[in-house]
Structure 1
Amino acid sequence: MLKSGILAAAGAAIITAAVSTAALADITILAWPGGPAETALRKVVDTYNETSDSKAELLYFSRDNFFDKMLADSAAGSTEFDVMLTATYNVGKYAPFMNPIDDLITEDVLKVFPQSAIDSQAFDGKVYGIPMDLGLHFLYYRTDLIDELLSNDEWKAKYGEISEEYLGTKMEPKMPDAWTWDDFIASALFFTQSINPDSPVRYGTVLQMKNLLFNIMIWQGTAASYGGNWLDADGNITVDSDAYRKGLDIFKKITELEATPGDSNSYEYAEANGAFGTGQVAFFIQWSAAYAEFVNAEDYPAIADKFDITHQPAGPEGPKTHFHALGLGIN
């Protein structure tokens, strides 16, 4: 019943309604707290409870140290939860304390999830989770501001002056899907009022720099686009490299020139969304999950019908993004 419960909830991917309030659940699911992931899973669980003889309820730990607590509890043989979070980047850490679910990966499941998605939840040839969602990064930008920049000769001239002063090269504005990281920096400076008093928004961009794993994932696209990788072919750490120094320099320059809010070192997903959603930021890099939030005009009226998305800026290796899948597996 437990395995079929995961398949019904995750494999069918039905997302409708809100969480059960059953006092005694047959299945307790430890899940990732906050944001669209929690909202969606609550709806899945409610649908499951309405359509199944067994009942499920959700359990949440604090976002801070979530994975450390989940590891400690599962390693100690905790029975507090039956189903637990899996993630591409750490499924191997929890695999010794989980049940493989290869027998769930039927032809029907593969009609819903491609093999690559299933592989994202595997370790040492065994599958430990059913994928729930994919996380990757987009460049979100204000279409009205970019359209004006590309058509207004005075703005173009100012853009050239600012890029020449701060980057040493007189640059011309481009559509965001053609940006390099230098275009990203130049545009961030142009749309920052402390540098360009005529900017209609206060900041060019907003960086997420709280000391947090997920913020490193967002930043990773900078270094990767310059050829940076965490490890070489022999497993040696390679962060002491030109690619990683270049990635750091991009964020450093934007921060020092105050083209991101001054308290960005305390920002993660929610704070960055708030800054862009108020209409005071021209563009930023954010998780794909944010798109579903921003298209809700009632929640973000300041940017309603005024933004679009594209891939991250390119380095010599082209545009790159971190990506991973989150899923659910059996404790």
Structure 2
Amino acid sequence: MKKTKRLAAALLTVMAVSTACVAPPKEEAPAAPAAGTTQAADSGSSGEQEPGTPEELTIWAWDQNFNIAAMKTAAEYYRNAGHPDFNLNIIEVEENAVETKSITAFTSGVSEGMPDILLMGDYSAQSFLSNYKGKYADLTDAMDFSQFAQYKVNAYTVDGRVYGVPFDSGSAGLYYRKDYLEQAGFTEEDMKDLTWTEFIEIGKKVKETTGKYFVVFTPYKGTHYIQIALQSAGEWLTKEDGSANFKDSAVVREMMGVLKELYKADLIMPVDYWSAEGIGGVQKGDVAAHISAVWYIPTLTSVPEMKDKWGYTNIPVLETVDNATKYSNIGGSSWVVLEESSNKELAIDFLKTVYAGNVDFYQQILKEQGAVATYLPSLEGSAYEEGNDFFGGAKIYKDFADWGKMVPSVDYGMYTNETSDALRTVTQDYFDDKMTLDEALEKAEKTFDMQVGN
């Protein structure tokens, strides 16, 4: 393996992806807002705290309604925990921009304007923590990480040291329209513990009976299904040595077949599932099922007229892998502290006090943001025992939280984007019978090797 080339390729890829979605980083970091407020990232002045201000931190995060809202609540809990003068400047920065700005600062050696704490996507963690050693604070001895879901802790562990405080769960499940399933002759009991083959057969019957698509995503980009299945079996798209895990993976081989069958049977509404059309298709009833994470619940419940029409269950199970489970994770993020922060100790104490020690905080953000925690003591709180009227009184958050405890840990490695992109170069040709499965996976591995310099 050519480590130097791999590192360079990884950095160029991250920068290319990031700058394709956002404007290039400015010379100055985002401006810090007035104490206790939130602002966008592009205002243009310094993000440093005001001299002499006691107990003040600056944070970069994305999503006003989820991550940022939870952080505002966390600040309230910290003030109530004996820090009445604590101020939190939360600057809204999109995920791609967080990565681009971090790369720029770390490679230039100029840390001025960087925050004290930033949000990091779990799939990117290993790449940043490994490529920029010494830039993130070692939190191993600061808090008890055995109190968190271990698959989240492992995502932020490098050389036996932990560098991130786990936040939200991406516990995965299968959502389905009960009315459409009933029309096709299926009960809620029939939806439990499906294999992927059974999932497809139900989809065919639903399409035949109702005319509705079964799922929604751009078919050649269906690699997220492969990722879901891989983690359910404790694998990932790369092996321990960083090479592609395509040809030799029974999971990848089975799921390529699953995607092809879904495509051939015309069960896929062929639009990006995060687009307005994709989300609208789910909300309006154009599709009968959707595999996603616990954080998708607000997307469903935001349409009150669909009350009692949606059910949920665990994800389908692989048939070709002996150790496969019905538990997996999709996405998620965690908090990291920058080593060069002048407020490092305050930042660590803040995260330890609230995110690693306050059960009431997690109860509140569950009720207000639908944020399911990966802090295990909080999962026994009263909020998780409350039934959800939209889902017929079912304890949906408790169920997803319990599933989250069972998610296998995997090493996401440094090349999640690159491996997914490599597979996407061959999926359509495989679907259209222009390539055999062996030919497709062989070409995908060669494409990946070229991308990362193997």
- TM > 0.5 fold call: yes
Alignment partner, residue 54 of structure 1: 86
Where does 1:1-331 land on structure 2 (aligned, <5 Å)? 20-21=36-37, 26-33=56-63, 36-45=66-75, 48=78, 52-64=84-96, 66-76=98-108, 77-78=110-111, 79-95=113-129, 96=133, 97-105=135-143, 113=148, 117-150=152-185, 175-192=190-207, 196=208, 198-199=209-210, 202-207=212-217, 216-222=223-229, 229-232=236-239, 236-241=243-248, 243-262=251-270, 264=271, 266-268=272-274, 272-294=278-300, 296=301, 299-316=302-319, 317=321, 318=324, 319=326, 321-322=328-329, 326-331=333-338
Please give the alpha-carbon distance, in whole angstroms, between the structure 2 residues aligned to 1:271 and 1:44.
34
What's the secondary structure of 2:200's corresponding residue? helix
The Cα shift of 1:30 comes to 1.3
Worse-superposed segment, 135-144 or 313-322:
313-322
Check whether the contact 1:31–1:84 (CA below 8 A) recurs between aligned residues.
Answer: yes
Amino acid in structure 1 at the alignment position of 2:281: A
Please give the alpha-carbon distance, in whole angstroms, between the structure 1 residues aligned to 2:295 and 2:114.
29
- Distance change in 2, residues 1:251/1:43 (3 Å): farther
The Cα shift of 1:185 comes to 1.8
Check whether the contact 1:205–1:284 (CA below 8 A) recurs between aligned residues.
Answer: yes
Q: Deviations over 1:23-43 (max 9, x none)?
A: 985311111336634443344
- Distance change in 2, residues 1:185/1:73 (3 Å): farther
The Cα shift of 1:230 comes to 2.7
Check whether the contact 2:169–2:332 (CA below 8 A) recurs between aligned residues.
Answer: yes
- Distance change in 2, residues 1:93/1:80 (3 Å): same
Please give the alpha-carbon distance, in whole angstroms, between the structure 2 residues aligned to 1:227 and 1:55.
41
Amino acid in structure 2 at the alignment position of 1:129: G
Computed over aligned residues only, the root mean square deviation of the Cα atoms, in angstroms, reads: 3.7
The TM-score normalised by the length of structure 1 is 0.68
- Distance change in 2, residues 1:84/1:227 (3 Å): closer
Q: Deviations over 1:2-29 (max 9, x none)?
A: xxxxxxxxxxxxxxxxx94279853111
Q: Deviations over 1:213-268 (max 9, x none)?
A: xx744432345668964344665422124542431232233234432223x2x333
Amino acid in structure 1 at the alignment position of 2:316: P
Amino acid in structure 2 at the alignment position of 1:29: I
- Distance change in 2, residues 1:273/1:94 (3 Å): same
User: Unaligned regions of 5+ residues in structure 1, if any?
Assistant: 1-18, 153-172
Please give the alpha-carbon distance, in whole angstroms, between the structure 2 residues aligned to 1:113 and 1:99.
18
- Distance change in 2, residues 1:182/1:174 (3 Å): farther
What's the secondary structure of 1:135's corresponding residue? coil
Q: Which has the higher helix share?
A: 2
- Distance change in 2, residues 1:105/1:52 (3 Å): same
- Distance change in 2, residues 1:220/1:49 (3 Å): same
The TM-score normalised by the length of structure 2 is 0.51
Please give the alpha-carbon distance, in whole angstroms, between the structure 2 residues aligned to 1:224 and 1:122.
17
Alignment partner, residue 351 of structure 2: none
Please give the alpha-carbon distance, in whole angstroms, between the structure 1 residues aligned to 2:213 and 2:126.
40
Please give the alpha-carbon distance, in whole angstroms, between the structure 1 residues aligned to 2:225 and 2:77.
33
- Count of residue pairs the alignment pairs up: 277
- Distance change in 2, residues 1:248/1:119 (3 Å): closer
Identity %: 20
Please give the alpha-carbon distance, in whole angstroms, between the structure 1 residues aligned to 2:149 and 2:261.
40
- Distance change in 2, residues 1:218/1:151 (3 Å): closer
The Cα shift of 1:184 comes to 1.8
What's the secondary structure of 1:182's corresponding residue? helix
Amino acid in structure 2 at the alignment position of 1:205: V
- Distance change in 2, residues 1:179/1:327 (3 Å): same
Please give the alpha-carbon distance, in whole angstroms, between the structure 2 residues aligned to 1:47 and 1:255.
49
Alignment partner, residue 157 of structure 1: none
Amino acid in structure 2 at the alignment position of 1:255: Y
The Cα shift of 1:175 comes to 1.5
The Cα shift of 1:47 comes to 5.4
Alignment partner, residue 345 of structure 2: none
Amino acid in structure 2 at the alignment position of 1:191: V
Please give the alpha-carbon distance, in whole angstroms, between the structure 1 residues aligned to 2:186 and 2:223.
35
Check whether the contact 1:223–1:247 (CA below 8 A) recurs between aligned residues.
Answer: no
Check whether the contact 1:223–1:229 (CA below 8 A) recurs between aligned residues.
Answer: yes
Alignment partner, residue 408 of structure 2: none
- Distance change in 2, residues 1:300/1:42 (3 Å): farther
Please give the alpha-carbon distance, in whole angstroms, between the structure 1 residues aligned to 2:168 and 2:289.
24
User: Unaligned regions of 5+ residues in structure 2, if any?
Assistant: 1-34, 40-47, 50-55, 339-454
- Distance change in 2, residues 1:41/1:304 (3 Å): farther
